[in-house]
Chains A and B, each alone.
Chain A
Amino acid sequence: MSRSEALVTADWAEEHLNTPGVVLVEVDEDTSAYDGGHIAGAVKLDWKKDLQDSVIRDFVSKEKFEALLSSKGVSDGDTVVLYGGNNNWFAAYAYWYFKLYGHGDVKLLDGGRKKWELDGRELSKDEVSRPATNYKAKDQDTSIRAFRDEVIASIGNKNLLDIRSPDEFAGRLLAPAHLPQEQSQRAGHIPTAVNVPWSKTANEDGTFKTDEQIKALYDEAGLDWSKDTIAYCRIGERSSHSWFAIHELLGQSNIKNYDGSWTEYGSLVGVPIEKDV
């Protein structure tokens, strides 16, 4: 994978709004953003209601994912262009999720909603409906998904990449600061993890920095490219953004995203934790 295959500009998206086989999908934590105005023709996905199982902590099954996309009018042969708020965190999460279920052609809109809005580009409130399809997903590709036992076994062996803010890494904050800080899990980070906040890979308008700039960041942090890497954050969405930068933009295939992330690790009994406070 490379930048030209995985990332599209706002200009490209605008030129392809009516291209058959190209489907824009907005993914947000709070779908009121979509309802208040979205890119014309884009369908919406709610990262929680649509992509998370409603009972156990896991993703929806392959069959439910197929039913979801079929109902949204997305075909498995379509080019899916994802974008959203929060600097594309949840869109990047959905990108990784689409890849997990084997979707062939997925792209991320560089800068997401933020860049689109700062450019003053048009948003629409028109309801979007697409004819239902018969979407076929593949079995989960767990070469890009890490689970807790692998994470614990990786301490001191693989690269552990903590992409949260320095305050969360140090244990001074338990969640990104747009959320209340009272949380049930312990504070800190996984021992041996390096801290490269996701935001370092992006410009302030939400677009990605150049491949050279991104690679230099991880080089400076001491990431050993010859070793496998596991990225994590609090719930796995910001780490999808960094997974995207490394796996898709830089073309490094030996990185997994740990979606259990700190809400799981920081709640486990008996696992080692490092903190700076």
Chain B
Amino acid sequence: MCGAPAQTPTLPAHVDITKETVIYGVVSKDDAPVPAAYVRLLDSSGEFTAEVVTSATGDYRFFARPGQWTLSVLHNSGSSRQAVQADAPGLVEVPIALS
């Protein structure tokens, strides 16, 4: 949604996944996708790096770099916080269930 490319698992044609570290996935609650959830990417010190809003299908996506990250999700139906380890450029899928 705002400020981000469409949050679909399909990447734009120009994106080179041998160079980009793409952290992506679906936010869900009780197995149903959650649109309009706020997903934050925090760096290894806990500092904000980026934020996106999930799409109608609950998808989010970040272009990060190899390293340790945290995903923090807020929605009026729940929240979640999850650590992510990205070892090398490529696709890193992280499904997130709200509680």
Which residues of A are in contact with B by a Cβ distance under 8 Å? 28-30, 32-33, 36, 84-87, 89-90, 113-114, 117-120, 165-167, 172-173, 175-182, 197, 199-200, 204-205
Contact of B53 among A85, A175, A204 (CB under 8 A): A85
Q: Taking the nearest CB of chain B, how far is it from the CB of A31, in angstroms?
A: 9
Contact of B1 among A85, A119, A182, A200 (CB under 8 A): A85
Check A177/B3 contact, CB under 8 A, given A118-B38, A172-B65, A182-B16: no
Check A165/B53 contact, CB under 8 A, given A85-B1, A180-B15, A182-B20: no
Which residues of B are in contact with A by a Cβ distance under 8 Å? 1-5, 12, 14-16, 19-20, 36, 38, 40-41, 43, 45, 47-53, 61-65, 72, 74-76
Q: Taking the nearest CB of chain A, how far is it from the CB of B37, in angstroms?
A: 10
Cβ–Cβ < 8 Å partners of A179 in chain B? 4-5, 50, 63
A interface, by DSSP: helix, strand, loop or mixed?
loop
The answer to whether A166 and B1 touch across the interface, beta carbons within 8 angstroms, is no
Cβ–Cβ < 8 Å partners of B2 in chain A? 28-30, 33, 84-86, 90, 113
Check A87/B51 contact, CB under 8 A, given A33-B1, A166-B43, A181-B19: yes
Q: Taking the nearest CB of chain A, how far is it from the CB of B93, in angstroms?
A: 16
Closest 7 CB pairs of A and B: A85-B2, A199-B48, A177-B50, A86-B3, A178-B4, A178-B50, A29-B3
A181 to B50, CA, bound (A): 12
Check A165/B48 contact, CB under 8 A, given A117-B76, A205-B74: yes
Q: Taking the nearest CB of chain A, how far is it from the CB of B38, in angstroms?
A: 6
A30 to B7, CA, bound (A): 12
Check A180/B20 contact, CB under 8 A, given A86-B2, A166-B43, A172-B65: yes
A175 to B1, CA, bound (A): 17
The answer to whether B49 and A176 touch across the interface, beta carbons within 8 angstroms, is yes
Q: Which residue of B lies closest to A34 (CB)?
A: B2
Cβ–Cβ < 8 Å partners of A204 in chain B? 40, 72, 74
The answer to whether A180 and B49 touch across the interface, beta carbons within 8 angstroms, is no
A167 to B46, CA, bound (A): 12
Cβ–Cβ < 8 Å partners of A33 in chain B? 1-2, 53
Cβ–Cβ < 8 Å partners of A114 in chain B? 38
A179 to B20, CA, bound (A): 10
Cβ–Cβ < 8 Å partners of A200 in chain B? 47
Cβ–Cβ < 8 Å partners of A199 in chain B? 47-48
Q: Taking the nearest CB of chain B, how far is it from the CB of A237, in angstroms?
A: 9
Check A167/B49 contact, CB under 8 A, given A29-B2, A33-B1: yes
The answer to whether B72 and A173 touch across the interface, beta carbons within 8 angstroms, is no
The answer to whether A181 and B47 touch across the interface, beta carbons within 8 angstroms, is no
A197 to B47, CA, bound (A): 8
Q: Taking the nearest CB of chain B, how far is it from the CB of A16, in angstroms?
A: 23
Q: Taking the nearest CB of chain B, how far is it from the CB of A65, in angstroms?
A: 22
